[in-house]
Amino acid sequence: MTAKEIRKSFLEFFKNKEHEFIASSSMVVKDDPTLMFINAGMNQFKDMFLGNVEVKHSRVCNSQKCLRVSGKHNDLEEVGVDTYHHTMFEMLGNWSFGDYFKKEAISWAWEFLTEVCKVEKDWLYVTVFEGADDDGLKLDEEAFDFWKEIVSEDRILMGNKKDNFWEMGASGPCGPCSEIHIDIRSAEEKAKVPGANLVNMDHPQVIEVWNLVFMEFNRLASGELEKLPAQHVDTGMGFERLAMVLQGVQSNYDSDVFTPLIDKVVELSGFKYTSQEKSETDIAIRVVSDHVRAVAFAIADGQMPSNTGAGYVIRRILRRAVRYGYSKLNISEPFIYKLVDVLGEQMGEFFPELSKQQELAKKVIKEEEQNFLRTLEKGIDKFNNYSKTVTETIDGKFAFELLDTFGFPIDLTE
């Protein structure tokens, strides 16, 4: 299946189970002081979980644009360096607002993965919340028992509060979760080390694909947990990871979510993409292909790069991409803006906000690139002139001057 077909089949599956399709909300958060960007599909439903608004549809599905670059969920430093984290990503989700709970969430997730997507059952592992004394929470026996009806016990692993108790931020709706992990290593590797040993161990081929959250609590600012008025389901599946699995490739960047962007970076830079985890040019190509998505979608959602708050986060993401392009791909002219049309072609149909703002995104990105390239050149000259006069250490005052020039720390020794 192509990425577009995968998204469609997920949504169709849940529509057939009486879920209403709801469009992705803007990735930029304007009315929640606890959040800068949407970091999960559930954000737009926060008030429904809390019981603050009337529930129109008790079952909902969608594909939400998320950005995990600040606050509790921040993957920025992993992006590009590994092959399965992203700044902007799509989260496929199904929700129940006071309707079905653990049993259906678990059995439908299994049905979709193994019967619709035809994922091999013995590639899958599931995790269950083991409990947490500090919150007075016990092992999630209910989820454990439902999983036992579906998979053998050796595939059900216990997870701690960090991995198996999902919270959107320091406060807000939360609850125990059950994750589904997939092992896409070769048979030979599987024979050497069982997949169960690698779950939640940051292995690039043994990764979480779907998180089923059983929302029951609200974390108060005091840190205490309060029971929600009803029990809900919030699930999140990594669309790019699912595409990787279903397309039989070993990296999200080798799926057709990314290959058109990567091909364009290859064309513009003249460097080949070899799909290696450790290659510096491959990392740079991944960083650029990833970051353009975050920046273009943020602009399409009304967030311009700027010097403060959310705008500064977007500016830094773009500058990280420019820096990788400049230092690893030898590109000293604006080029990232040229990827926006490729992105529009891929995603503009499902996310029409992108098509509408495509020209604006190109213009803003080009200007930002131009300005930062000038800054970068000036800063590097300054550094080179300075470092001719010293051997080992740099004066603190000069380091701060440089920091001021770039706006954030850059490793100039790379």
Task: Kindly write out the interface string for residues 52-81 of this chain, putting x where it contacts ligand GLY by CB under 6 A and - elsewhere.
Answer: ------------------------------
For ligand GLY, the closer of residues 172 and 379 by Cβ is 172
Residues 6+ apart with CB under 8 A from 33: none
Subset of residues 11 to 40 that bind ligand GLY, contact rule: CB under 6 A? 40
For ligand GLY, the closer of residues 42 and 354 by Cβ is 42
Using the rule CB under 6 A, which residue among 236, 305, 325, 344 binds ligand GLY? 236
Q: To the nearest whole angstrom, how small is the minimum distance from the Cβ of residue 268 to ligand GLY?
A: 34
Does the footprint of ligand GLY cover residue 234 (CB under 6 A)? yes
Subset of residues 186 to 215 that bind ligand GLY, contact rule: CB under 6 A? 211, 213
For ligand GLY, the closer of residues 243 and 364 by Cβ is 243
For ligand GLY, the closer of residues 208 and 301 by Cβ is 208
Q: d(Cα 328, Cα 287) in Å, to the nearest integer?
A: 11
DSSP codes of every residue in 110-147:
HHIIIIIS---GGGEEEEEE--BGGGTB---HHHHHHH
Q: Which amino acid is at 62?
A: N
For ligand GLY, the closer of residues 100 and 166 by Cβ is 166
Residues 6+ apart with CB under 8 A from 296: 340, 343, 354, 358, 361, 365
Rounded to the nearest angstrom, the gap between the alpha carbon of residue 263 and the centroid of all alpha carbons in its chain is 22
Using the rule CB under 6 A, which residue among 14, 97, 129, 166 binds ligand GLY? 166
For ligand GLY, the closer of residues 91 and 347 by Cβ is 91
Does the footprint of ligand GLY cover residue 240 (CB under 6 A)? no
The residue behind tokens 């959250």 is: 213
Q: d(Cα 12, Cα 92) in Å, to the nearest integer?
A: 12
What are the beta bridge partners of residue 95?
A: 60, 234
Does the footprint of ligand GLY cover residue 246 (CB under 6 A)? no
For ligand GLY, the closer of residues 241 and 264 by Cβ is 241
Q: To the nearest whole angstrom, how small is the minimum distance from the Cβ of residue 232 to ligand GLY?
A: 11
> Quick one: angle between helices 396-406 and 358-387, nearest 10?
160
Residues 6+ apart with CB under 8 A from 331: 268, 269, 325
Subset of residues 90 to 109 that bind ligand GLY, contact rule: CB under 6 A? none
Q: d(Cα 333, Cα 182) in Å, to the nearest integer?
A: 41
Using the rule CB under 6 A, which residue among 42, 48, 242, 317 binds ligand GLY? 42
Contact positions vs ligand GLY (CB under 6 A): 40, 42, 166, 211, 213, 234, 236
